[in-house]
C-alpha cells in the first residue's frame, strides 16, 4: 500500500511563529519594575578594626549542678562554647576569660580575686581553644565585677564596638566591686563596650543583677533553659558583633516634637527610648530625593508580650507620609521596621494650585521630613524602666527611583498584547482543525 504524504503549507505556521515573536517583543518591551538598590551613604564613624568578643565563663562550684536537661551546667556551657568556636567567622577576634576556675570555696581570699584569661583575644586556634575549655572543672567563687574589668582590659580600646558575653549561674558573691557599678563605669568610659548576660540559674536576685549589667551597657539578658538555647544565643551575639563592628553609630537624642528634633544627615545613629515613648528626628529631603530609614529597638530586659514598634515619616505639621510597623510576642530580642518615601519633583510653575498636596509641601526646599519612632513596650513586673531601650536608627537619602510608565501607556500595551494572544489562539485552533481534517483525508485515501 502506498501512503501519500502531503506537506503542510508554511503559511499558517509561519504566521503563528511571527505572532509568537511579536508577542515576545512586546513582552520584552514592558517596563521592568525591579528596584536597583543603592548603598546608602553614612556619616557614622567607620573602622577597619576586626570584631572583638570576649566570653566570660563562670566556673564556680555551683556550675556542677545538673539541672539543664539532666546535664551539669558546666558541661552544657562547654558544649555550647565548642559549637560556637567551630562556627567562628575567620575575621573574628575571640577570647575566653574565666572566673572561679582556680581556687576552691575554702579559700575565699584568693577565690574572690580568681579571674584570668583562658584564651587570649586574637585569631582563634580552634583546637587549642576547645582543649582549654574542656579542662575546666567547677571550683570556686563568683567575682563577676572583677571579671568584667578584666574583660574590658582584654578587649582594649578602639573605635569599634566590642562585646563581652557573660555566662554565669549566680550573682556576684565577692562584691565589692559591685558588677552593676562596674558595668556603669565601663559604659561611662565611652569605649563602645556592650555586655550581654546569659543566666543558667533562674532565681530573682541573679536575674536582676544580670539585667542590671546588660542594661547599663546596652546589652541583652537571656534566661537560659536549654542547651540549644544557649548555643543559639551565643552564636547570635558573636555574629551580631561581626555584622556591626565596621560602623559605630553616632550618639543622638530625639525629642518629643519635630520643631526641636535633631537634624540628621545620612548615617547610623543610636539613642534610647523609654517604654511607650515617642522620639522624633528630622531629615532634610529635597524634591526628587528618596528617604530610606529603618529602626531597630533591642529588648534588653524582660518586657510584656504583645508589643509593637512604629516608624513614621511625617511633614512638619504632623501629616503622615508613610509608616512601617513591627509587632512581636517576646520570642525575639530585636524589633525592627523601615520606611521608604520619595519627595515629589519641584513644581515648575510658580502659580501652582492652592490645593498642593501635603507630600509636595513637605518636600519643598528648606523643609525636613520628621521621623517618629514609637513603641508599645511595657516592662514586666520588677523590671527597671531606666535607662530606655537601646535604639538604632539608619538614615539614607538617595536620588528618587524612576517612576514606572503611566497607566495609559501600560493599558495600551496590555490591549495590544491581549489582541496578539487572542489572534494566536484562534490561528492555533484553525491550524489544529486543518491538520485533523488532513489526517482523516489521508486515512480515507488509504
Q: Where are the domains of the chain?
A: 46-247, 254-345+360-399
Least confident among 123-137, 298-312, 406-420 = 406-420
Q: How far apart are the C-alpha atoms of 95 and 53, rounded to whole Å?
A: 6
% the chain with pLDDT above 90: 40
Query: Which CATH superfamily includes the segment(s) 46-247?
Result: von Willebrand factor, type A domain (3.40.50.410)
123 pLDDT exceeds 90?
no
Q: How far apart are the C-alpha atoms of 234 and 243, rounded to whole Å?
A: 14
Q: How far apart are the C-alpha atoms of 15 and 6, rounded to whole Å?
A: 20
Q: What pLDDT is attached to residue 239? A: 81
Average pLDDT, the chain: 79
Q: At what angle do helices 73-86 and 227-244 cross, to 10 degrees?
A: 40
Q: What pLDDT is attached to residue 96? A: 97
CB 221 within 8 A of CB 210: yes
Q: How far apart are the C-alpha atoms of 225 and 76, rounded to whole Å?
A: 11
224-249 tens-digit pLDDT: 999 999 999 999 888 877 665 555 67
Residues 6+ apart with CB under 8 A from 314: 258, 320, 321, 362, 369, 370, 372
411-437 tens-digit pLDDT: 455 667 777 778 777 788 777 777 777
335-392 tens-digit pLDDT: 888 898 988 876 544 444 443 444 444 444 447 899 999 998 888 877 777 788 888 8
116 pLDDT exceeds 50?
yes
For range 209-216, the mean pLDDT? 88
310-335 tens-digit pLDDT: 999 999 889 999 999 888 765 556 78
Q: What pLDDT is attached to residue 195? A: 92
SS3 for the chain, per residue? CCCCCCCCCHHHHHHHHHHHHHHHHHHHHCCCCCCCCCCCCCCCEECCCCCEEEEEEECEHHHHCCCECCECHHHHHHHHHHHHHHCCCCCCEEEEEEECCCCCCCCHHHHCCCEEEEEEEECCCHHHHHHHHHCCCCCECCCHHHHHHHHHHHHCCCCCCEEEEEEECCCCCCCCCCHHHHHHHHHHCCCCEEEEEEECCCCHHHHHHHHHHHHHHCCCEEECCCHHHHHHHHHHHHHHHHHHCCEECEECCCECCCCCCCECCCEEEEEEECCCCEEEEEEECCCCEEEEEEEEEECCCCECCCEEEEEEEECCCCCEEEEEEEEECCCCCEEEEEEEEECCCCCCCCCCCCCCCHHHHHCCCCCEEEEEEEECCCECCCCCCCCCEEEEEEEEEEECCCCCCCHHHHHHHHHHHHHHHHHHHHHHHHHHHHHHHHHHHHHHHC
51-77 tens-digit pLDDT: 789 999 999 999 999 999 999 999 999
133-191 tens-digit pLDDT: 999 999 999 999 999 999 999 998 876 778 999 999 999 999 999 999 999 888 877 66
Q: What pLDDT is attached to residue 330? A: 57
23 pLDDT exceeds 70?
no
Instruction: Please give the CATH number for the structural domain made up of 254-345+360-399.
Output: 2.60.120.380
C-alpha distances out from residue 350 to 41, 346, 354, Å: 33, 10, 11
For range 253-268, the mean pLDDT? 92
C-alpha distances out from residue 340 to 303, 311, 335, Å: 29, 11, 18
Position with higher pLDDT, 315 vs 444: 315
Q: What pLDDT is attached to residue 114? A: 96
Amino acid at each position: 500500500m502506498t501512503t501519500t504524504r502531503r506537506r503542510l503549507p508554511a503559511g499558517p505556521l509561519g504566521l503563528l511563529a511571527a505572532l509568537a515573536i511579536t508577542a515576545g517583543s512586546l513582552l520584552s518591551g514592558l517596563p521592568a519594575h525591579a528596584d536597583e538598590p543603592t548603598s546608602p551613604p553614612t556619616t557614622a564613624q567607620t573602622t577597619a578594626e576586626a570584631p572583638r568578643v570576649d566570653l566570660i565563663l563562670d566556673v564556680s562550684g555551683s556550675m556542677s549542678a545538673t539541672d539543664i536537661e539532666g546535664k551539669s551546667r558546666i558541661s552544657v556551657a562547654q558544649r555550647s562554647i565548642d559549637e560556637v568556636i567551630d562556627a567562628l567567622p575567620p575575621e573574628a577576634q575571640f577570647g575566653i576569660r574565666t572566673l572561679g576556675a582556680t581556687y576552691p570555696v575554702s579559700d575565699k581570699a584568693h577565690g574572690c580575686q580568681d579571674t584570668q584569661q583562658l584564651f587570649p583575644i586574637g585569631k582563634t586556634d580552634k583546637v587549642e581553644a576547645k582543649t582549654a575549655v574542656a579542662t575546666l572543672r567547677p571550683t570556686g567563687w563568683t567575682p563577676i565585677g572583677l571579671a568584667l574589668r578584666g574583660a574590658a582590659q582584654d578587649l582594649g580600646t578602639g573605635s569599634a564596638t566590642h562585646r563581652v558575653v557573660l555566662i554565669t549561674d549566680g550573682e556576684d558573691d565577692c562584691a565589692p566591686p559591685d558588677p552593676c557599678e562596674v558595668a556603669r563605669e565601663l559604659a561611662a568610659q565611652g569605649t563602645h563596650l556592650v555586655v550581654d548576660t546569659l543566666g543558667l540559674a533562674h532565681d530573682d536576685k541573679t536575674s536582676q543583677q544580670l539585667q542590671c549589667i546588660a542594661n547599663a551597657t546596652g546589652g541583652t539578658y537571656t534566661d537560659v533553659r536549654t542547651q540549644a538555647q544557649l548555643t543559639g544565643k551565643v552564636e547570635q551575639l558573636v555574629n551580631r558583633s561581626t555584622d556591626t563592628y565596621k560602623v559605630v553609630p553616632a550618639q543622638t537624642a530625639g525629642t518629643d516634637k519635630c520643631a526641636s528634633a535633631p537634624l540628621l544627615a545620612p548615617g547610623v545613629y543610636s539613642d534610647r527610648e523609654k517604654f511607650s515613648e515617642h522620639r522624633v528626628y528630622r531629615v532634610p529631603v529635597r524634591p526628587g530625593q528618596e528617604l530610606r530609614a529603618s529602626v531597630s529597638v533591642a529588648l534588653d530586659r524582660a518586657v510584656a508580650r504583645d508589643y509593637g514598634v512604629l516608624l513614621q515619616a511625617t511633614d512638619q505639621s504632623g501629616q503622615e507620609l508613610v509608616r512601617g510597623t513591627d509587632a512581636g510576642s517576646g520570642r525575639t530580642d530585636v524589633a525592627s521596621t523601615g520606611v521608604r518615601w520619595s519627595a515629589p519633583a519641584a513644581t515648575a510653575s510658580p502659580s501652582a494650585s492652592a490645593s498642593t498636596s501635603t507630600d509636595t509641601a513637605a518636600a519643598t526646599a528648606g523643609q525636613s521630613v520628621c521621623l517618629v519612632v514609637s513603641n508599645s513596650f511595657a516592662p514586666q513586673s520588677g523590671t527597671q524602666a531606666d535607662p530606655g531601650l537601646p535604639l538604632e536608627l539608619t538614615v539614607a537619602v538617595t536620588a528618587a527611583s524612576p517612576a514606572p510608565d503611566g497607566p495609559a501607556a501600560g493599558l495600551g500595551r496590555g490591549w495590544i498584547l491581549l489582541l496578539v494572544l487572542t489572534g494566536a489562539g484562534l490561528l492555533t485552533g484553525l491550524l489544529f482543525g486543518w491538520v485533523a481534517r488532513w489526517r482523516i483525508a489521508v486515512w480515507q485515501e488509504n
